Every structure is written in C-alpha cells, then in structure tokens.
Structure 1
Amino acid sequence: MKWILILITVSLWEISQCQYEEDTLWWLSYMQNQFYNYDSFYEEDRTPSSQDCPLECDCPPSFPTAMYCDSRNLKHLPYVPSRMKYVYFQNNQISSVQDDAFENATGLMWVVLNDNQIGSEKIGGKVFSKLKNLERLYLDSNNLSRVPSSLPRSLRELHLSSNLLGRLPSNALEGLENLTALHLHDNQIQDVGGVFKWLKSLVILDLSNNNLRKVPDGLPTSLQQIYLEFNHLSTIPDEYFRALPNIQYVRLSHNQLTNDGIPSNPFNTTSLLELDLSYNNLQRIPPVNTNLEHFYLQGNQITEFSIGSFCKSVDIINFSRIQVLRLDGNIIQQNDIPPDTPLCLRQASLIDI
C-alpha cells in the first residue's frame, strides 16, 4: 500500500511538470504571436493599400505617391487614386484626355503623357486647370496642333516637342509666370509672335528644328539658354542679345546666317559663355565679347582669321576667355592664323582648324 502511494505521487508530480512546461511554451508562443500581429498592424497602418491601384499599373509601396502605367498598350487613362503625385503614362496608345481624367487626384505634381496619340481635339479644355500643384507636364511625341489651354500657374516645365504645332497665338502661354523650361523643338512652328512675354521666369527655351524665319521677339530677361538650331534664320537684329542680360548659351547652328545678316556687334554681351554658329554661311568671324568661353564656327565658309573678332586690344588685362574655338570645315588654313593670336587667346585649350 505504501509503495502504491509513492508511485501515484511521482506520477502526479511528472504530470504537473509537463503541464507547467507546456504552459511556459504556450506563453512564449502567445507573446511572439502578439508581437507579430502588432507589427503587421503597424505596417498596414503606415503603407497605403494597393487595392486602389489600377490592375494595369504598378504602385510600389516604396514610392506610395507614384503610379507607373508606361508601356502597357493602354488606350484609355486608368483611374488615378487621390494619393498620387506622380503619374507615368508614356509610350502607350492613349488618344484622349477628358476633363475628368484627374478629377480625383488634384494634388498631382508630375504628369507624363509623352509618346502617345493625343490630338488637340481630344484633350479637355480644363483637364489641367484643377491641378494647382502641377510642376511638370510631358506631352512630347503626340499629335497636338496647339498648346493645351487653362494650364495652371504652378507649372515649371512644359514639354511639347515632336508634335504638330505650327503657330503659337499670343495668349497660348498666358499666366505661366512660374515656367522655367519650355521645350518646343521638332515641331512646325513658323511664327511665335509675342507668346513669350508672359514667361517672367523662363530660363530655358528650345525652339530647335522648326520653321522659324526670324528670331523670336519679346523674350524675358530671365532667359539663360536659347536653342534655335535647324531653322531658317538668316538675320539677327542689332542689340538682340544685349536685351537678354542673363543669356549664357546660344545655339544657332544649321541656319542660313550670313555676315550681311548679322549686325556689327550682336554678340557683345558679357553674360554669354557659349555660342554655336556652326553650319551657316559665314565668311568672317563675327565679333564676340571677351567673356565668351566656347565658340563653334565649324562648317561655314570662313576665309580669314581676325584677332579683332576676339580682342579689341591685347595686354595683361585685356584678352579673350575663349577656351574652345572650332573652325574646322572652313576655307581657312592653319598658316592664316596671325602670330599674335596666343596673346589674345591665351586661355584656349583647343583651337581646331
């Protein structure tokens, strides 16, 4: 009887120990599970749900305000969630943008619609007017025959290259006083009138590869870079660039400029650093300011090298800051360079003849 009681007591003790160990393991498991559930809840709280992202697009959690819908063979604009600030629709087959396309996402800052099939008659007249924070609008490589209307004042970059623009009405860019970059290259523009007078903050203007026969009028004094290559320009008005006190880069290559069409001193502006007159019909080197650093004249018909084009006088203080001078593809020869040229062009690292 005594042995039976001892065996029962030992058995009860072992059972109790097993239950205690199981309780301990269960408690640890519970704590781990609670920590995991809390972490999951926290992640869901701080990461926007992907349920509002259109199936045909990508909305990466690492960039919750961007929606990527490029190169998806889209024919229509998908729904844009309200949290989006950057939307990418380039390289699709989109042909229209209706007034309500961005009705739900008025906080958009970037809208990228280049390389589509959008025509001016299929773009809503007020589709962009509600986007009060819009800074960059990309509409390159479409079928636009006019600048979209009612663009917001917040716009800083407007990309309209490779479209069907022919003439720019004087009010086409009205109200865009914050615009700093305007890209209009590769169109069919013949006349710009006074369309640029509204652009008080413009820094970059690209009108290359169009059908311009005269340089644009009424450019803002803020302008620093102007690209006019591949047009039909034959003359430059006197004092034209002196009216642009901040101009630094001027490209006029591949035009029809001659010395007769250039006044005596059109490029004598202290701010100008780079001037490209290559592939025109020049026979002489036009005079430039001594502050000019890069001068491109290749592919003309220049027959003489005049020190006076670079330096009115040469001494310790007066000399040209030219660093690169290209005269290759002209009639001039190496032995046509005057012997005192190194005194004037003492900072030149490249003179290509």
Structure 2
Amino acid sequence: MDSINESPSPIMKGFLFLCCYFISCNALPFEQRGFWDFSMDDGPNMMQDEGSGLPTGPIPTDLPSMPPMDLCPFGCHCHLRVVQCSDLGLTSIPKDIPKDTSLLDLQNNKITEIKKDDLKGLTKLYALVLVNNKISKINEKAFEPLNKLQKLYISKNNLEEIPKNLPVSLVELRIHENKIKKVPKDVFNGLKNMNCIEMGGNPLENGGIEPGAFDGLKLNYLRISEAKLTGVPKDLPPTLNELHLDNNKIQAIEMEDLIQYSNLYRLGLGFNNIRVIENGSLSFMPLLRELHLDHNKVSKVPPGLPDMKFLQVVYLHSNNITQVGVNDFCPVGFGVKRVYYHGISLFNNPVPYWEVQPATFRCVTDRLAIQFGNYKK
C-alpha cells in the first residue's frame, strides 16, 4: 500500500512529459470552413461509414450557389405572373418587380409620378392598372420597355394630358376622370391595334380635340361622356361600333354629325340638352341597334326611326314628347324592318299614353317591351 502512494519516479515523469508534448503538437486549433462544421462532431473531414449509402469523401465547401430568384415586392401578393400591390399607400412604383410579370395592379395608392426606369425590364407586361392614384406626371420614356402591353388603366388620377409615346401594342386605354383638356393630333400615332378608348370625365371641349387627333385608329369603342362637348365631335374613327357621348352639353344633332359612322350599332346621347334632331341625320347609321336619347329636351319622336331596319332599343324617357304618331316607330307595310323592337321607353314624357294608337307598336316583340308611365311635372 505504501508503494502506491509513492510519487512517480523521474523516469516515469519524463515519459508522461513526452506523451503530453506529442499530443499537444498534433492537436490543431478549430477552424470553421463552412456551415457543415456546426453539424459534424468530427470536423469538415469526417468520413462516412462504408455501406451507409452516403459519400465517403470530404464534404465539399465550394457548392454551386442557387440561381437568383425574383422576389415579390414587400407587401404585395404575387401569383402566376400576377403582382397585386393595390391599397398599400404606395407613393411610388415598387422596385424589384418580377421580370415575367404579366399583370401589375397598383390601383388605390398614392403614386404621384411614373419615372423613366420605374417599369424597366417588364417586357412581358400585358396589363397595367394604375386607377385611383395621384399621378400628375409621366416620363416620356416610361412606357418604352412595355412592348407587349395591351391594357393600360390609368383612370381617376391628376393627368392634364394624354401620356406620350404609348406602347404600339396597346389595345385598350382607360383614362377617364382626369384633368385632360386636349387631344393632340399626334398623340395616338402608330397605335394601329387600339380598339377601345375610355376618356370620359375630363373637362374636354370640342375645340380641345385637334383635327386629325384620331387619324389612323381603328377603334370599335369610344366614350367621351361627362365632358364639356356642345356637339358631336368631328373626325372620329369611322370604324366605331359604339360611341358614347352621354352627360355632355350637346344641343342638336345636325345632318353632317353622324355621316361617317355607318358601322355604329350603339349610340349614347343621353343626359344632354338636345332639342333638335334634323330629319335624315340618323339615316347614315343603317346598322344601329340601340339609340339612347333619354334625359334630353326633344319634343317629338326622332324622324327616320321606321327606316332603321335593325333598331331594337330606343330610350326616349325623360324628354318633352307630347305626341306619338302611329308611324313614328314602325314602317308602313311588312318586310321592311328586319328585327322587331325589344324595348321602347317613353315614360316621364308629357304624352297622354291612353291616346296612343295600339298599331303604333305593331313591330314590337311584346307589350312588356313598351315602357310608358304617368307624367309627373
């Protein structure tokens, strides 16, 4: 027992010293070489067991990086190339919009300006919605990258002029409820694909539409309602199928006003101050199907309606009509009119409806299609 408590001999001490020395010399300090160092107990050069099915060599530290991905702008919703950034209180167009975006919705924000590079790289954009912002300025080159844009909705803003250099691919432009007073001659140059323009709710007068402003356009639909027009604008596209001029200050329909619109099938002239419709002025629209003349000041049924073979709907309510003749709507004889009327509205006129002859509506599909009513001053 005493021998156990004896201190080590000098030879033993020397041996222990040498062992500690060699061990300390071979132990290298820890060096982090990658993320994997924190998940491996034995360092980055750990070998896997044979038969485990995993690599047995050293873990590589130069793995290829992931390809860059377009991220959705903060606060927006991105799904299937649709980027929705509406109702976010944005004051400018977000950065880093995915390059493959097809529809960009920025309505109901506080955007004040569209700068030159705000839409840079969006070469696949099909529709851009900027409705209900505070946009008053658009850079002349802002739309240059949008070579596939077909629909531009920029209504309810503070624009004082139609944007310049619109994409030639544009099909539909909705720019109503702005502050536009002028339609320059060259603003629509080159827009051969344009089909629809909605520009009502602007303080636009007849003199603000320069001659030739719509030259080259093949529009099917045009609305200039709630403006300051005192007459039917001249030189509108002759290709028009629909023309809406309601809620203006038009006072008369003269002979030459509609002479070039032979393709019209819907004409909206409601809520004006029309008192006179010249005889024969409607005869230039042989394909007309709907005629809206409600809320005007006409005192009789417009002349020429019996000769319109395809006319189906006539709105004449809220006028000053005092008499309806037996041949005011239907032609004399059979085979002249191609289709029967689906609707004739005459209510809110000072006409004694009980005095109107039943034969007056002989070319109407059903008696329910006739809307009369008591006149109340």
Q: Quote how far apart the aligned CAs of 1:197 are.
A: 2.7
Match of 1:8 in 2: none
Q: Which residue of 2 aligns with 1:91?
A: 108
Paired residue for 1:205? 222
Q: Which amino acid aligns with 1:270?
A: P
Residue identity in the other structure for 2:176: S
For the residue of structure 2 that corresponds to 1:322, the secondary structure is coil
- 1:283 counterpart = 2:299: yes
**Equivalent position of 1:310 in the other structure:** 329
Alpha-carbon distance in structure 2 between the residues aligned to 1:181 and 1:225: 10
CA contact (8 A) 2:310 2:337 kept: no
Distance 1:306 1:276 in 2: 20
Gaps of 5+ in 2: 1-50, 55-65, 373-377
Question: How far off is 1:299 after superposition?
Answer: 0.4
> 2:295 touches 2:319 (CA, 8 Å); kept in 1?
yes
Is 2:359 the counterpart of 1:343? no
- In structure 1, runs of 5+ residues without a counterpart are 1-23, 31-43
Q: Deviations over 1:140-195 (max 9, x none)?
A: 11000000000011000101011011121222222222111101111111132335
1:215 corresponds to which letter in structure 2?
V
Would you say 1:155 and 2:203 are equivalent positions?
no
User: What amino acid maps onto 2:328 in structure 1?
Assistant: S
* 1:211-290 pair list within 5 angstroms: 211-259=228-276, 262-268=277-283, 269-287=285-303, 288=305, 289-290=308-309
Counterparts in 2 of 1:85 and 1:319: CA distance versus 1, 3 Å: closer
Classify the secondary structure of the residue corresponding to 1:52: coil
Partner of 2:10: none
* One-letter identity of the residue aligned with 1:352: Q
What does 1:16-31 correspond to in 2, within 5 Å? Answer: none
**Cα distance in 2 for residues equivalent to 1:113 and 1:318:** 46
Match of 1:17 in 2: none
RMSD between aligned residues: 2.3
CA shift for structure 1 position 199:
4.8
Contact (CA 8 Å) 1:208, 1:229: kept in 2 or not? Answer: yes
Q: How many residues align?
A: 305
Deviation per CA, 1:87-113: give whole Å up to 9, x if none.
Answer: 111111111110111112222111111
| CA deviation string 1:70-89 (max 9, x = no partner) | 11111111122222121111
Please tell me the residue identity of whatever aligns with 2:133: N
- Alignment counterpart, residue 66 of structure 1, candidates 67, 76, 82: 82
Distance 2:338 2:171 in 1: 39
- Contact 1:319–1:344 (CA under 8 A) maintained in structure 2: no
Query: What are the superposed Cα offsets for residues 249-270 of structure 1, whole Å, 9 maximum, x if unpaired?
Result: 11101101012xx210222322
Q: Does 1:57 align with 2:76?
A: yes
